[in-house]
Structure 1
Amino acid sequence: MLMERTKKRQYYESTERSCNQMISKLAVTLRNSVVKENDTEIIIKQLKDGSADKITSWVQLKILAIARPAVIIYSYTMLVIFLRIQLNLISGHMYKHAQNTNNGIIGTEVQKRYMALSKYFIDEGIKDLSEFIQNKVSEVTASLSLTEQLTLRDLEQIYWAITSSVSADSSKDPVKNFIYYTLQHDIENSDTSVYSKLRDQMLDVSESEEVQDLMQKNIRTGFVLLMDHISVYFSEPSKTNSVQNKASFSEESNAENSILTRKENISDFSGFVDLNKTTIALAKIIPIMNGQVPDNPISDDIAENWLQRLIFNNDLKTLGANLYEAVC
C-alpha cells in the first residue's frame, strides 16, 4: 500500500514538472499571439511619420494599449487552468491504466490529439478573446480624452469597469464561456472514442463552478498586480518621462503633449508622493500601458511576472492534484 502511494505520488510529481514546462513553453507562443492581435507598432509608426489621421490613430492606440495587458491577464490565466486540467486528467488515466490493463488503452495517437487541444486557444481562441476585450475597452474609455488627468485610482477604476463589463456579458465572458475560447467544436455527440471521453471530461471540469471561481479570483489578482506595476510611474516622475521620450510619436504630438498634459506631484517635505493625488494625462499613460507588454519580452514585465505567479499558485496546483487523484 505504501509502495503504491509512493508510485502514485512520483507519477504526479512528474506530471507537475511536465505541466510547468509546457505552460512556460506555450506561454511564449501565446504571448506572441496576444502581441499580434493587439498590435500597436503599425499605429505608432503611422503617428511618427504622420501618414494617418492623428485623432483616429490615438483612439485606436488608446484601446490597444489598455487592452494588451488585460488580454495577457485573462489569456495566461486561461492557459494555466486549461493545462492543469488537461495534463492531470490524462496522467491520472495513464497511471490507472499502468496499474490495471483492463481500464482501456490511451494510444499514442489519442495522446497526441488530446495534448494538441491547446493549439486552438493559442491560434484561434485568442483572436476572439482579444476582439472581445478591445470592444469592452472601447466602450469604457470612449468618453476619455487624451488630456484627461488621471490618478492611479482612476486608472484602477477603468480596469475594474472593463472587467465588470466583461463579466456582465454572459455570452462571451471567458470565465462563463471558457470552453468557447479554448476548445474547438469538432466532436459529434455520438462519438464514443477514448479521445472524445477525455475531451468530455475536460468540458465537465472546465464548466464547473470551482473552476469558474478559481479563474475569477486569479483574474482579479492579475489586475491588482498590473496596478502594482503601474504605480511606480505615479511615484517616480523620471520613469514617466523616460517612457514618454521613448514613445515619442512625432514632433507635433510631443509639442501637443507638453502643452496639453500635466503631471502633478503632490508631496510633503520628506519627499513622500501621495499616489491618490498624483495625476498623469491619458496621453502619457497610453505609452506606459503599451509598455507593460513590450513586443520583445523583458525581465519581470507583467506577462512574465504574472505567468510565474500562476505556475506557483497553490490553488491551481491543488485543482490539478485533486483531478489526478479523482481519476486514479
Structure 2
Amino acid sequence: MFSSIRNFLHRHRRKFFVTGAVIGSIYLLLSYAQKRLREWQEREAKKFFEMTRKKQHFESTERTCNQTILSLSKIVSESILNILNTEEIVQKLQENPDNKLALWEQMKIMIFTRICALVYALSILNVTLRIQLNIIGGYLYRDSVREEGPSMIDSELQAKYLSLCHHFVGPGVEDLVKQIEKAVKRVVDPISLKKKITVQEVEQIFWSIQTILCTDTENGDPVKKMVHYLVNHTEINEAKFDTLVKETMDILETDEVISISVSTVSRSFSSVVDEVANLFVSKWVPTTKNHLEAVDDHIVTNGALKSGPSQPFIDVNQVDMHFVKLLPVVNELITKNTCKGNTNIPDLLTQQLTLNEKLKLLGANIYELFSST
C-alpha cells in the first residue's frame, strides 16, 4: 500500500509542487492584501480623524475671527463717528444761527465722509483681521499635531502680532478719514444744497469718490495701503515675528486680496445706496401742486408713483429730493439705534462683511496653507 502511495506521489509530484506553489502564493497574496487593507483602513481612519480635528479647529478659528471683527468694528465705527461729530452741527442748526448755510455746507461734507470712511475702514479691518487670525490659526493647528520640537507661535508672539491692527484702529483711521475727506470735498462741494437729487445721482457721488481714492497718486489707494496701515509703523526685532509680518505683507499685496478688498468696498457702497433708496421711498413727500396729478386718490409725479391693484408702485429712480432734505435722514441712518428695529449703516456693513463668502473663502485658503504640516 505504501509503495502504491509512493508511486502515486512520485508520478504526480509536479502537480503537487505546482498546486502547493499556487496555494502558497494565494496565501501570501491574501496575507499581503489583508495587511495592505488594514494599513489603508488605518490611514483612512487617521486621515478622517485629522480632517475632523482640523475642521473643528478651523470652525473655532472662524468663531474667534468673527467675534474679534465684531468687537473691533464697533470700536472703529465709534472712532469715525467721534472724529466726524455731526451732532454738534445739528445742535447749532436747531438754534437757527446766522451762519446756518455754512453749517449745512460743513454738514454735507461730514456726512458723506462718514459713510465713505465707514465703508473703507470696516472693509480694511475685516480683510486684515481675517488674514491675521487664519495665519495664527494655521500655525496653532500645526503646533497641536507636532509631536516634538518648540511651538511655532506662543501666546506672547500672538499678542504682539495681533496688536498690529491697533495702529489702524487709532491713528490709521484718523489718516484714512483725512484722505477720504479731501476726496469727498472734491465731489460734494460743487453740489448745491437746493439741488434736487435722485438715487442714481447719490450712487454717482459714491462712485466718483471711490474713483478719486483708487487713483490718488499723492496718498495712495486706501485698499492698496493695507500693509502701510498694518505694519509700516512697527519695529521688528525678532526672527519669528519678522517671519509672520513678512508672510502677512506678501498676502496683503497679492492681486487676489486687493481684488477681494475692492469688491467688498464696492459691495458696501451698493448696500449704502440701497438704504438711501429706501429713504427716498419712505421719507419723500410731494409738496408742489403743479408737480402733482391726483388720480383716484393716488399721486403721480413724473411717473414715479403708479397706481396698482392694491397700492401704488414707486419707481425710486424717478423720485428726487432736495439735497438739503436728504442730509438729515442720511445722517440719522448712520447713527440711529438698532435696538429700536432701525437700520444702522455701521452694523449693516459689519454684518455683511462678516458673512461675505469671498472673505470666508480667503480665510479658509489661508488657514489651509498655514496649517499644512
Normalised-by-shorter TM-score class: 0.7 to 0.9
Per the alignment, residue 259 of structure 2 pairs with 213
TM-score by length of 1: 0.86
Given that 1:12 and 1:324 are in contact with CA atoms closer than 8 Å, whether structure 2 keeps it comes out as yes
Quote the Cα distance in structure 1 between the aligned partners of 2:85 and 2:59. Answer: 38
Instruction: For residue 103 of structure 1, report the CA deviation from its aligned partner.
Output: 6.2
Describe the shift of the 1:296–1:31 C-alpha distance in structure 2 as closer, same or farther (beyond 3 A): farther
Match of 1:124 among 171, 174, 181: 171
Match of 2:106 among 26, 44, 60: 60
TM-score by length of 2: 0.77
Q: Within 5 Å, give how 1:309-324 maps onto structure 2.
A: 309-324=352-367
Quote the Cα distance in structure 2 between the aligned partners of 1:289 and 1:181. Answer: 29
Per the alignment, residue 156 of structure 1 pairs with 203
More moved, 194-203 vs 288-297? 288-297
Match of 1:102 among 117, 126, 149: 149
Give the RMSD, CA atoms, in angstroms: 2.2
Match of 1:268 among 306, 311, 333: 306
Instruction: For residue 192 of structure 1, report the CA deviation from its aligned partner.
Output: 4.3
Per the alignment, residue 135 of structure 1 pairs with 182
Quote the Cα distance in structure 1 between the aligned partners of 2:70 and 2:233. Answer: 26
1:238-296, CA deviations, whole angstroms, 9 ceiling, x for partnerless residues? x246xxxxxxxxxxxxxxxx99xx99943233322232221101101111221221065
Q: Within 5 Å, give how 1:154-193 maps onto structure 2.
A: 154-170=201-217, 171-188=219-236, 191-193=237-239
Where in structure 1 are there 5+ consecutive unaligned residues? 242-257
Where in structure 2 are there 5+ consecutive unaligned residues? 1-46, 293-299
Asked if residue 8 in structure 1 is aligned to residue 43 in structure 2, the reply is no
Quote the Cα distance in structure 1 between the aligned partners of 2:110 and 2:226. Answer: 23
Quote the Cα distance in structure 1 between the aligned partners of 2:198 and 2:59. Answer: 45
Instruction: For residue 234 of structure 1, report the CA deviation from its aligned partner.
Output: 1.8
Quote the Cα distance in structure 2 between the aligned partners of 1:23 and 1:268. Answer: 44
Given that 2:164 and 2:234 are in contact with CA atoms closer than 8 Å, whether structure 1 keeps it comes out as no
Instruction: For residue 50 of structure 1, report the CA deviation from its aligned partner.
Output: 4.3
Quote the Cα distance in structure 2 between the aligned partners of 1:274 and 1:295. Answer: 26
Given that 2:231 and 2:245 are in contact with CA atoms closer than 8 Å, whether structure 1 keeps it comes out as no
Instruction: For residue 107 of structure 1, report the CA deviation from its aligned partner.
Output: 2.3
SS in 1 for 2:262: helix
**In the alignment, residue 269 of structure 1 is paired with which amino acid?**
S
**In the alignment, residue 320 of structure 2 is paired with which amino acid?**
T
Match of 1:75 among 109, 121, 124: 121
Per the alignment, residue 318 of structure 2 pairs with 277
Per the alignment, residue 39 of structure 1 pairs with 85
**In the alignment, residue 164 of structure 1 is paired with which amino acid?**
T
**In the alignment, residue 227 of structure 2 is paired with which amino acid?**
I
Detail structure 1 runs of 4+ shifted over 4 Å in the superposition. 262-265, 295-299
- Structure with more contact order per residue of length (Cα contacts < 8 Å, sep ≥ 6): 1
SS in 1 for 2:149: helix
Asked if residue 303 in structure 1 is aligned to residue 346 in structure 2, the reply is yes
Q: Within 5 Å, give how 1:84-95 maps onto structure 2.
A: 84-95=130-141
Structure number with larger C-alpha Rg: 2
1:135-176, CA deviations, whole angstroms, 9 ceiling, x for partnerless residues? 111100121111001111111111111111111114331111
**In the alignment, residue 267 of structure 1 is paired with which amino acid?**
L
SS in 2 for 1:293: helix
SS in 1 for 2:175: helix
**In the alignment, residue 146 of structure 1 is paired with which amino acid?**
L
**In the alignment, residue 186 of structure 1 is paired with which amino acid?**
T
Quote the Cα distance in structure 1 between the aligned partners of 2:74 and 2:246. Answer: 27
Quote the Cα distance in structure 2 between the aligned partners of 1:118 and 1:124. Answer: 11
SS in 2 for 1:150: strand
Describe the shift of the 1:33–1:290 C-alpha distance in structure 2 as closer, same or farther (beyond 3 A): same
Asked if residue 199 in structure 1 is aligned to residue 245 in structure 2, the reply is yes
